[in-house]
Structure 1
Amino acid sequence: MTTATLTTKGQITIPKDIRQHLLLQTGDKVDFTLTKSGEVLLKPVTRRVDEVFGRLGKRKQKALTPEEMDAAIRKRLAERKA
Structure 2
Amino acid sequence: MSTATLTSKGQITIPAIVRATLGVEAGDRVEFVQVEPGRFELVAATQSVTALKGLVLKPASPVTIDAMNKAIATRGAKAR
TM superposition score normalised by structure 1: 0.55
Letter in 2 for 1:10: G
Counterpart of 1:31 in structure 2 is: 31
Shift of 1:33: 1.1
Q: Which ranges of structure 2 fall in alignment gaps of 5 or more residues?
A: 51-80
2:20 aligned with 1:6: no
Shift of 1:37: 4.2
1:2-81 mapped onto 2 (5 Å cutoff): 2-49=2-49
Q: Structure 1 vs Structure 2: percent identity of aligned residues?
A: 46
Output the CA distance in 1 between the equivalents of 2:30 and 2:19.
Answer: 11
Which structure exhibits the higher relative contact order, with contacts defined as CA atoms closer than 8 Å and separated by 6 or more residues?
2
Alignment length (residue pairs):
50
Q: Which ranges of structure 1 fall in alignment gaps of 5 or more residues?
A: 51-82
Output the CA distance in 2 between the equivalents of 1:30 and 1:49.
Answer: 17
Shift of 1:35: 2.0
